[in-house]
Amino acid sequence: MARTAAKITLSPSRDIPLDRLALSQSNVRRIKAGVSIETLADDIARRGLLQSLSVRPLLDAEGQETGRYEIPAGGRRFRALELLVKRGRLAKNAPIPCVVRAADSDILAEDDSFAENAMRESLHPLDQFRAMQAMIDKGDDVEAIAAHHFTTPAVVRQRLKLAAVSPKLHGIYADDGMTLDQLMAFTVADDHQRQEEVWTQLDHSFNKSPAFIRQKLTEDSVRVTDKRAAFVGIDAYVAAGGGVVRDLFEADGGGWLTDPALLDRLVDEKLKAEGTRILAEGWKWVTTSIDLPWDATRDLRAIDREEVAMSDDEQARVAALEAESEALCEQWSDAPDVPAEVHARIDAIDAELGALVDRPLVFHPAEMERAGAFVSIDRDGTVRIERGFVRAEDEPEQDMPEGAADPDVEDGGAGPISRGSGEGDHGAPPAGSDGEEEGEGLRPLPDRLVSDLTAWRTLALQNAFAQDPAIAFSAVLHALVLGCFYAGTRESCVQVAANRVYFSNAPTNLRDCAPAQAIDARASAWKERLPQSDQELWDFLLTLDGDEQALLFAHCASLCVNAQAEIVPKYDNGRISAHGVARRIAHSDVLARSVSLDLVAAGWRPTVEGYFRSVTKPRILADVAESRGPQFAEMIDHLKKADMAREAERLLEDAAWLPEPMRTPGLGDTEAGEAEGDAANGELPAFLAEDADGPDDAIDAELPVAAE
């Protein structure tokens, strides 16, 4: 017959005055960890002692109990109680609940101390989330919970957000079916059904990363950092009934807007209101668009404009602000810590100076009546207004000057050119005639003769032109600048045209890419320096030194480079052919090798919007296999097209991969690159290398240059 195990007897508990307790040298905790003594004392002061102290009697030399007790387990609680006595919050002889272990126990005091700490188990995170939610449900608030548990309101909100995730996902997390990071990712959406759908989809995906979960949950939302959101304003969007979700665990740039349709409606309304306001200035037309097309100003003439001069008061204010800014910078330049208010004041000065220096433009009312403006949204969400452009059909008809030849009348020669005055003579005088009739005054030279004479003069000018490289360069530069900066102007006798490239099918947001931003910045810097009138351009160009002329020349020439593989129409339209496009692309490869073109360094990446959405699934898999290897392609070959495209974008983000049309054949060929580099990158002519009047880096101080 089996014996019944003896029942255990627990150590008795009783209240012992605090001043009869002392720390034991057997307590194994020596290193501070976890909640501080001060924090524990505050908690005991609020809620009392939740756990008794484990004590043993102290014996005298004869082995008799002295009435005092040592504490091998509970030393931190004892120190917290002592601190409350020092603060005057607790009597020094207050009764303390204690579990009293026999002095002659077989269990060592060190064993008790170690067991109390080692056998302790913290709450499962899910229990923490649910506990805080229960406190909220029973009337507590976030700030109170944070204060009572010595944490921050932000941490409490994070726990509450985790508690709000689908109970089904809670169960999976509790069974170690997902990680805490994955659970945190699900907090970006409040819809439990959607959360569960995404988790189900992940069963068939190799990628279960938190980033991918967030991407799936927010794919139908708009980032707060989107320029449309910045343009409308989050407050206006929310006031109109829009929702915003936040990721409390990751830097999300402000969250996501959950109602794209509402956002687009608000953007349209605000853009139209801005267009109406600009139209009221007196323009004939105003075009509004979220993204202004790359070639919006193609074939449009920019009308003259003048900056409003500063008043005496404004000039005085600018001087005062500059002096204050200089004084602050000098005062705090060597200080290790600059106060926030100083930074704020410097920022305020810069903002006010910018508003004063950025002068408003004035246009002639008569020109405004036939011109218009473009209103769009800039990259930072501000309104972008480009005023003063005349369409070809709105150009005024040019009246024929008295005595000028009619261009529609054929003269069989070089055209209606006359350097004389008075009535024109549209034919050569008959043979044997001296061209004058008795009794008549001096008549202008016949057009035919003028044409013959100027032909001879042209050859003489060409010959002289060829012998003066500096003037020849300036003349070509003059023609290029006219074509690039003075639309509609053809006042040069040098028949070199700046045929600016306007893409036949420009992709959306092309103006926002890094190369476009660099080109725009460089063009803006030159526009600030160039004269308003094309009549003053020639004299201005002659004031530039060789380096400045070369930089301006390179900028204008760059705008004429066309490496686009345009879509060739099915039927020949006389403008573009497959053969012509092929030859153009071939020469673009020569230029690309000469300048060591690096599209990855320039900022291009294969994205869903810019590439993968437009290609087939087999192409996506082939691209991934080429760039990362077949094993990566196999990981995503079971996905739907949209998911496959997103995964491919992630996989190729840092792969430095380019699709075939963007590659430059032979760019990695050292010999070919060196041979073509020698031909294309030779030294500038001597007259360009010479420093005429200014310092070598004069242009660098004023012109932004695209990063290499």
Residue 535: pLDDT over 90: no
pLDDT digits (tens, 9 = 90+) for 332-379: 878 888 888 888 898 899 888 888 887 778 898 988 999 999 999 988
Measure the N-to-C terminal CA separation of the chain; round to a whole number of Å. Answer: 92
Mean pLDDT of 665-676: 49
Of 205, 185, 207, nearest to 194 by C-alpha is 185
The CA distance from 146 to 444, in Å, is 99
Least confident of 325-329, 412-416, 646-650: 412-416
The CA distance from 265 to 246, in Å, is 22
Global pTM value:
0.51
Secondary structure of residue 555 in the 3-state scheme: helix
CA distances from 53 to 18, 38, 70, 210 (A): 11, 18, 10, 44
Instruction: Band the pLDDT of 678: cuts 50, 70, 90.
Output: very low
Whether the Cβ atoms of residue 625 and residue 695 lie closer than 8 Å to each other: no
What is the model's pLDDT at position 432? 45
Mean pLDDT of 619-629: 91
Average model confidence (pLDDT) across the chain: 78
Least confident of 74-78, 86-90, 330-334, 416-420: 416-420
pLDDT digits (tens, 9 = 90+) for 203-246: 766 678 887 888 778 777 888 888 899 999 999 999 999 888 77
Residue 278: pLDDT over 90: yes
pLDDT digits (tens, 9 = 90+) for 396-435: 876 544 544 444 444 433 333 333 433 444 444 444 444 4
Of 685, 652, 679, 662, nearest to 476 by C-alpha is 685
The CA distance from 279 to 530, in Å, is 28
The CA distance from 207 to 219, in Å, is 16
Instruction: Band the pLDDT of 473: cuts 50, 70, 90.
Output: confident
Secondary structure of residue 69 in the 3-state scheme: strand
More confident residue, 540 or 476: 540
Residues in CB range of 625: below 8 A, 6 or more apart:
632, 633
438-443: Cβ within 8 A, 24+ apart: none
> Phi and psi dihedrals of 70, rounded to 5?
-105, 155
The CA distance from 507 to 515, in Å, is 14
**CA count, 13 A, side-chain hemisphere, 491:** 14
Q: What is the DSSP letter of 500?
A: -
User: Percent of the chain at pLDDT above 90?
Assistant: 15
The CA distance from 249 to 188, in Å, is 9
Q: Quick one: tokens of 139? A: 């009337």
pLDDT digits (tens, 9 = 90+) for 97-111: 999 998 888 888 888
Residue 86: count of CB within 10 angstroms of its CB = 10
pLDDT digits (tens, 9 = 90+) for 508-533: 777 778 888 888 888 888 888 888 77
> Phi and psi dihedrals of 597, rounded to 5?
-60, 130
What is the model's pLDDT at position 203? 74
What is the model's pLDDT at position 550? 86
Q: Quick one: tokens of 620? A: 């996506």
Least confident of 226-240, 269-283, 459-473: 459-473
